[in-house]
């Protein structure tokens, strides 16, 4: 079985039955629970804040993989830790002093990750790769679920994998956007370790079965 990880994106869950959705993920073969935090400023959408994260944490048995699509994330790092974040992803484009932000996340006891928008070159992360647990390559423009995968992402992922190998780091590569059974094998071949999957899981007739199918993809 492949060693890749699956992180269901709660953004696509049924929020009227959120506890049931989280308990389904608890029972599944998923590895992480992905939370998209959007501020309506950095991206054209709003999601949820600390009270909802705390509620999710009280039910979730999988580590919380929290993706901050917000401006000036440094203001809130400690609050996200206190709310329950285990992994914390900030956007390269929003951090004025990226190395310091990464250090602060790690010192707070979370696993630091950095996300790159589709137009951002992975080479910009070379100086900090050794400090990162994960790099999230956005394979759609951030802000909304259910978008179409951007095909140019493959070359970007391969370049990042070469950088990680050359640096000797053990940084994971995560992708988010337009991911499903049809392109997972190609993405694994390109070097992806962690898959954020939303619509494909939560709109499936049997989400548990879909997660099991995604875990078996190779």
| CATH number for position 61 | 3.20.20.70
pLDDT at residue 187 tops 70: yes
Asked about 206 being catalytic, the answer comes back as no
Domain of 187 in residue numbering reads as 5-216
Q: What is the pLDDT of residues 160-185, one digit of tens each?
A: 999 999 999 999 999 998 899 999 99
Q: Is this prediction's pTM over 0.75?
A: yes
The proportion of the chain whose per-residue pLDDT surpasses 70, expressed as a percent, equals 97
Kindly name the residue from 176, 182, 186, 206 that is annotated as catalytic. 176
Kindly name the residue from 36, 65, 74, 193 that is annotated as catalytic. 36
Write down the pLDDT at residue 141.
Answer: 86
Q: Which residues contact 42 (CB under 8 A, 6 or more apart)?
A: 69, 70, 71, 91, 94
Q: Count of CB atoms within 10 A of residue 37's CB? A: 25
Q: How confident is the model at residue 145 (pLDDT cuts 50, 70, 90)?
A: low
Asked about 176 being catalytic, the answer comes back as yes
Q: Pinpoint the alpha helices (H) of 50-198.
A: 50-59, 77-83, 98-107, 153-167, 184-190
Q: What is the pLDDT of residues 11-58, one digit of tens each?
A: 999 999 999 999 999 999 999 999 999 999 999 899 999 999 999 999
SS3 content of the chain, % helix, strand, coil (to 5): 45, 20, 35
Number of domains forming the structure of the chain: 1
């Amino acid at each position: 079985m492949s060693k890749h990880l699956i992180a269901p994106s709660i953004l696509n869950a049924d929020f009227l039955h959120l506890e049931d959705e989280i308990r389904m993920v608890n029972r599944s073969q998923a590895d992480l629970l992905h939370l998209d935090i959007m501020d309506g400023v950095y991206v054209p959408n709003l999601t949820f804040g600390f009270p909802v994260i705390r509620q999710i944490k009280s039910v979730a048995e999988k580590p919380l993989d929290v993706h901050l699509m917000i401006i000036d994330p440094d203001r809130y790092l400690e609050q996200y830790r206190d709310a329950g974040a285990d992994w914390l992803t900030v956007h390269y484009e929003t951090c004025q002093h990226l190395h310091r932000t990464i250090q602060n996340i790690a010192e707070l006891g979370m696993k630091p990750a950095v996300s790159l928008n589709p137009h951002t070159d992975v080479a910009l992360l070379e100086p900090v790769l050794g400090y990162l647990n994960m790099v999230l390559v956005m394979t759609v423009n951030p802000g909304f679920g259910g978008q179409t995968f951007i095909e140019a992402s493959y070359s970007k992922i391969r370049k990042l994998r070469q950088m990680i190998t050359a640096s000797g780091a053990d940084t994971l590569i995560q992708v988010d956007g337009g991911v499903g059974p049809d392109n997972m094998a190609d993405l694994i071949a390109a070097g992806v370790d962690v898959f954020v999957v939303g619509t494909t899981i939560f709109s499936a007739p049997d989400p548990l079965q879909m997660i099991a199918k995604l875990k078996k993809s190779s």
